[in-house]
Chain A
């Protein structure tokens, strides 16, 4: 009896926590993020119903069949029942699996918009850097031997390549609202991970690979970016920021920042 009550109480408390507003997702700032939230909510309802059903049945059988001197029944199998609950479960689970693939496809199986703003992202122990092309729209070649963090060249832009002369290196990621952005994620030492909660996007940044990640942010604001793959003793301090700006403000910033590069 007591155990039935306890299971009910703990399951109930667990369920209740899903209705508290305090520890939840931050605001969604893109169409993808909103789709994400919809799929998650749908999944939570399905999963929550299964949770209530299963814990409820458990509580009920404990209560109903506690020892009151009754003779136990002799049923020990039913092929029909096995087939029934196996197929129902399979259908529900597979439906969930397929329902969720749209979000994934939207992020990874769709090509980014050709007019997207392309920004290179460089992760290292323990900081993030971003590179914008100059007015020429081209990224200059990089040379690992020319990496100079103190001198403001974390990418190692090759001074011998004129296309790199106007490249802009920045410590935080600024993007215009409403415009597609394509990030090209790179690491120069160990595996890191780029995570923007409000975009509902996360991607491992793997040395030896350049991994694209595209999004369109709708809402201006400053959003914290924590590294989300263990990368060493500074992992928890490898903080960056995504700053989404109104399109005009972004253009102003970009113009001014590019000018500073070309005319030091």
Chain B
């Protein structure tokens, strides 16, 4: 397997490999964070060795915690959720499912992967440069991110590398988006109209359309931020600032403008993360119910509706940002509107199962788990989408619970489902079903145990992005909750070892699979 291969199947596996590395890295970061939250004063020798400046004598500093948190979010959102579902599975299976012999632009495909890999390396480099990784979160709001190192450690070179990494990722994603869209439009087999494509293909198609427009805007925002940091411009930097006793000379810029540019990308981004998974879940539920997907056309239209409406709701991340309160009302109505096609998809999944003959393979377990998690995670959107209610919950653990359930769990379950489902096609063998189901049960319990309690930390008003909770009387009551969540997180992480073992062991020793092990009807399972 040549590493600069232009074969879509190789590139698909490369993206999956990159995502696997990234999810492990991101998960380890989250375990370190969870540990620190409940043991903020414990010195850990390993921390002192890894980060002599960030954890002198093994005592983690707040800035180190925040930089690990920034890296956790960035790695998970970009290098896990925006790679595996779309460019991982999509590259491998889109051509096969539409009867094309490869993607439209194989060389561009190879370049997309390697630009993504370079982007990841650039990001990881931030951990080891002077000052370390940035501490401004994956959202990098200026002026915190826009003034350079006077706002905090990691805000110098670390933040520059972060921006550069994201810019590279934008370029890679735009290249991939063009490739996917042209492939769907031009390379479908002659007998395959748009409404004959499997829903997986619709998922990849709409995701690519979203990416095309969203990443273009993120790239623009990132360039302006980089210029503010390094070229003396004031796109986002207002006047009258004094930071660290130093009066800043620039003026006229608007921090809220950055938020508009960022979230114009940022909201569609979450649909990029989930839409491929939705397409896949439709397929898996259908195959293992022995029935066609219920409401295929409605499902395809719902994907388009989510993609389209997803572009006009970004302001719900900014209800209390200082933007016009009238905008908040408009965004709120649109946000609850975008919940409608998502609900419709859920009904159609239930209707697909209804009257079926359900086979509970490991893939089916994860697909059913996805539906349950999508309900649990999605439903709190109806609370957060009301600005009058968000006025309490914004920037609390309630939001953390919401997006982790939807992205950090449901979307991940779709990836697990896809791996179990497609492993026979990718490796000619089955993933071990028993281990798969064990992994599912432990993980399903684990994710509920980690993320549901965090809603209640949110009810107490527990702010997010705090390295510890020592300073506040009112946070004493949530400590038992956090201790429980941390232990659940250790359990959840340990359960993933089962998957890791299964994934690598089965590639060599898994039971050999026939050409169409599941009795599916889509083209990738055909002999030719």
Q: Do chains A and B touch in the complex (CB under 8 A)?
A: yes
Binding site for B on A (CB under 8 A): 2-3, 6-7, 10-11, 13-14, 17, 20, 22-26, 36, 39-40, 43-44, 46-47, 50-51, 54-55, 57-58, 61-62, 65-67, 69-78, 81-82, 85-86, 89-90, 93-94, 96-98, 100-109, 124-125, 144-145, 147, 188-191, 193, 195, 197, 200-204, 206-209, 211, 224, 226-237, 239
CB 8 Å contact bits of B427-446 with A (1 = contact, 0 = none): 00000000000000100110
A-B CB proximity, top 7 nearest:
A208-B238, A103-B388, A73-B355, A100-B386, A108-B325, A23-B456, A236-B466
**A/B interface sample: 15 pairs, CB < 8 A:** A3-B369, A23-B478, A26-B461, A39-B389, A72-B291, A93-B336, A96-B382, A109-B325, A125-B244, A190-B142, A206-B256, A207-B241, A230-B135, A230-B141, A239-B471
Instruction: Chain B residues near A200: list those with CB within 8 A.
Output: 391-392
Instruction: Chain B residues near A71: list those with CB within 8 A.
Output: 357
Is the beta-carbon distance between A107 and B391 smaller than 8 angstroms?
A: yes
B5 on the A face (CB < 8 A): no
Within 8 A of A (CB), among B313-343: 320-322, 325-326, 328-329, 332-333, 335-337, 339-340, 343
Instruction: Chain B residues near A50: list those with CB within 8 A.
Output: 379, 382
Cα separation A221 to B328 with both chains bound (whole Å): 32
Cα separation A42 to B465 with both chains bound (whole Å): 29
Q: A97-B336, A206-B256, A231-B144 are in contact. List 4 more A-B contacts (CB 8 A).
A: A25-B461, A58-B368, A86-B344, A208-B254
Q: What residue in chain B is nearest A25 (Cβ atoms)?
A: B459
Instruction: Chain B residues near A73: list those with CB within 8 A.
Output: 291, 354-356
Distance from B180 Cβ to chain A, minimum over Cβ atoms (Å) = 27
Cα separation A103 to B319 with both chains bound (whole Å): 13
Is the beta-carbon distance between B137 and A230 smaller than 8 angstroms?
A: yes
Name, among B135, B392, B444, B466, the residue most crowded by chain A CB atoms within 10 Å (CB to CB): B392
Instruction: Chain B residues near A25: list those with CB within 8 A.
Output: 392, 459-461
Indicate which residue in A51, A100, A228, A234 contacts B332 across the interface (CB closer than 8 Å): A100
Distance from A93 Cβ to chain B, minimum over Cβ atoms (Å) = 4
Within 8 A of A (CB), among B352-384: 353-360, 365, 368-369, 371-372, 375-376, 379-380, 382-383
Indicate which residue in B136, B243, B296 contacts A77 across the interface (CB closer than 8 Å): B296
A23-B339 in contact given A89-B344, A189-B143, A211-B322 (Cβ < 8 Å): no
Is the beta-carbon distance between B337 and A93 smaller than 8 angstroms?
A: yes
B481 on the A face (CB < 8 A): yes
Name, among A17, A70, A76, A208, the residue most crowded by chain B CB atoms within 10 Å (CB to CB): A208
Is the beta-carbon distance between B339 and A55 smaller than 8 angstroms?
A: no
Is the beta-carbon distance between B289 and A65 smaller than 8 angstroms?
A: yes
Is the beta-carbon distance between B322 and A72 smaller than 8 angstroms?
A: no
Is the beta-carbon distance between A202 and B395 smaller than 8 angstroms?
A: yes
Cα separation A214 to B312 with both chains bound (whole Å): 29
Is the beta-carbon distance between A55 and B336 smaller than 8 angstroms?
A: no
Instruction: Chain A residues near B256: list those with CB within 8 A.
Output: 206, 209
Instruction: Chain A residues near B298: list those with CB within 8 A.
Output: 77, 82
Is the beta-carbon distance between A97 and B343 smaller than 8 angstroms?
A: no
Indicate which residue in B152, B328, B339 contacts A232 across the interface (CB closer than 8 Å): B152
Indicate which residue in A11, A24, A61, A107 contacts B460 across the interface (CB closer than 8 Å): A24
Distance from B479 Cβ to chain A, minimum over Cβ atoms (Å) = 11
Is the beta-carbon distance between A190 and B144 smaller than 8 angstroms?
A: yes
Q: What residue in chain B is nearest A192 (Cβ atoms)?
A: B144
Instruction: Chain A residues near B369: list those with CB within 8 A.
Output: 3, 7
Cα separation A93 to B342 with both chains bound (whole Å): 12
A7-B368 in contact given A104-B387, A107-B388 (Cβ < 8 Å): yes
Instruction: Chain A residues near B143: list those with CB within 8 A.
Output: 189-191, 207
Cα separation A86 to B496 with both chains bound (whole Å): 38
Is the beta-carbon distance between B465 and A54 smaller than 8 angstroms?
A: no
Q: What residue in chain A is nearest B334 (Cβ atoms)?
A: A97
A10-B295 in contact given A100-B332, A233-B63 (Cβ < 8 Å): no
Q: What residue in chain A is nearest B256 (Cβ atoms)?
A: A206
Q: What residue in chain B is nearest A229 (Cβ atoms)?
A: B395
Name, among B238, B320, B329, the residue most crowded by chain A CB atoms within 10 Å (CB to CB): B320
Is the beta-carbon distance between A11 and B254 smaller than 8 angstroms?
A: no
Indicate which residue in A54, A85, A104, A230 contacts B329 across the interface (CB closer than 8 Å): A104
B507 on the A face (CB < 8 A): no
Instruction: Chain B residues near A36: list those with CB within 8 A.
Output: 388-389, 391-392
A94-B383 in contact given A11-B376, A144-B247 (Cβ < 8 Å): no
Indicate which residue in B255, B291, B321 contacts A74 across the interface (CB closer than 8 Å): B291
Cα separation A71 to B63 with both chains bound (whole Å): 60
Q: What residue in chain B is nearest A61 (Cβ atoms)?
A: B353
Instruction: Chain A residues near B347: list those with CB within 8 A.
Output: 85
Distance from A222 Cβ to chain B, minimum over Cβ atoms (Å) = 10
B133 on the A face (CB < 8 A): no
CB 8 Å contact bits of B451-476 with A (1 = contact, 0 = none): 01101110111010111110111100
Is the beta-carbon distance between A232 and B144 smaller than 8 angstroms?
A: yes
Is the beta-carbon distance between B388 and A101 smaller than 8 angstroms?
A: yes
Cα separation A43 to B398 with both chains bound (whole Å): 15
CB 8 Å contact bits of B43-75 with A (1 = contact, 0 = none): 000000000000000000111001000000000
B294 on the A face (CB < 8 A): yes
Q: What residue in chain B is nearest A102 (Cβ atoms)?
A: B388
Instruction: Chain A residues near B459: list those with CB within 8 A.
Output: 23-25
Is the beta-carbon distance between B375 and A51 smaller than 8 angstroms?
A: yes
Instruction: Chain A residues near B332: list those with CB within 8 A.
Output: 97, 100-101, 104
B394 on the A face (CB < 8 A): yes
Cα separation A201 to B66 with both chains bound (whole Å): 25
Q: What residue in chain A is nearest B478 (Cβ atoms)?
A: A23
Is the beta-carbon distance between A224 and B472 smaller than 8 angstroms?
A: yes
Cα separation A202 to B291 with both chains bound (whole Å): 49
A207-B240 in contact given A23-B460, A58-B368, A71-B357 (Cβ < 8 Å): yes
Is the beta-carbon distance between A23 and B477 smaller than 8 angstroms?
A: yes
Cα separation A213 to B166 with both chains bound (whole Å): 36
Instruction: Chain B residues near A101: list those with CB within 8 A.
Output: 329, 332, 386-388
